[in-house]
Amino acid sequence: MRKLFTEIGARIGRMVDFFYPPFRHLVPQQMFRYAVCGGANVLWDWLLFYLMVNYVFHQQVVRVGGWAFEAHTAALAVSFPVSTLTGFLLQKYVTFTASDLHGRVQLVRYLVVVGFNLLLNYAGLKLFIEVCGFWDTPSKMLVTCLCTLVSYLCQKHFTFRVRGKGI
């Protein structure tokens, strides 16, 4: 399976790199790959979130056993794990391919960063939707943008670091 992911990652990397030359004076190649892969994954996450809120949960309270969740919270519970998996695979096999850490270590570290981002996402959605009264999907977009820089730094210097470099 690793060989398949490596080959697919290499192909995606070549496609992303095709568009890199105009940006080479602005950002390093790794940051460009992170932006493209992360951006594609964010769009995927937003699409899943939108579909869940509007077409699966129909903007209604979702009841599971004795628990009740707002549609945006239930949508986050569905979209976040899916985009987490696709994000890990893209970052591991396309962006941070030089990391010499074992895949298990990378995955655990990635999940730690994701857990932190999940808390930021949850708190941000609660703040923007329930306190400030913003709409669901734009709130999700705003929260995602706020988490992006923190996520990049954590992934580069912690999750996918090269031994001897980073934190």
Query: d(Cα 59, Cα 80) in Å, to the nearest integer?
Result: 18
Q: What's the pLDDT score for residue 114?
A: 87
Specify the long-range contacts of residues 141-149, CB closer than 8 Å, at least 24 apart: 141/46, 144/42, 144/45, 144/46, 146/120, 147/117, 147/120, 147/121, 148/38, 148/42
Rg over CA atoms, the chain: 17
Please, are residues 88 and 117 in contact by the beta-carbon 8 Å criterion? no
Residue 166, pLDDT above cutoff 60: no
H/E run at residue 67: strand 67-69
Give the pLDDT confidence score for residue 121 in this predicted structure. Answer: 85
Lookup: tokens for 112: 């730690």
Q: What is the pTM of this model?
A: 0.78
The two three-digit tokens of residue 33, written as one number? 């790959």
For the stretch 95-150, pLDDT in tens is 999 998 998 999 999 999 989 988 988 999 999 999 999 999 899 889 988 888 78
